[in-house]
Amino acid sequence: MSDPADKLRLDKWLWFARFFKSRSLAATQVGAGNVRVNGERVTKRATTISPGDVLTFSQGRVVRIVEVVALGTRRGPAPEAQTLYSDMSPPPPPKETPVPENPRFEGKGRPTKRDRRQGDLSRARHLE
């Protein structure tokens, strides 16, 4: 028989590992069926997990895939919480930076006198 000390409630572990701000938020996510344990959807908040289990859940717009490394005994500081899991989530896609139309003036700060004159001339030609 396995030792009951090597198991912990899923909602409690998610709170210990600081994935959710409160245990009730973690319990709500589990109860809504938004968490998978080893690939199977769970809806019981009291589902027990142990080291080696893989959890998949969404956190905001990001899908997190984590492996339980340790169970923990308390909700400690963030560095302590990060030792409870191994993050296997895919890296986020790189953000595309927009290419400015006019590389000389990017719309930051005041335009120079020359830029302002050119803008005035182009507006005057457009109105004609």
Q: Which domains does the chain have, with CATH numbers?
A: 4-87 (3.10.290.10)
Q: Which long-range contacts (CB under 8 A, 24 or more apart) does 15-20 make?
A: 15/75, 16/71, 16/72, 16/74, 16/75, 16/76, 16/81, 16/84, 17/66, 17/72, 17/81, 17/84, 17/85, 18/75, 18/78, 18/81, 19/57, 19/59, 19/64
Query: In whole angstroms, what is the distance from residue 22 CA to residue 33 CA?
Result: 18
**Segment-wise mean pLDDT, segments of 10 residues, the chain, 128 residues:** 72 94 94 94 93 92 93 92 91 74 65 85 74
Gap between the Cα atoms of 84 and 98, Å rounded: 38
For residue 107, the model assigns a pLDDT of 64
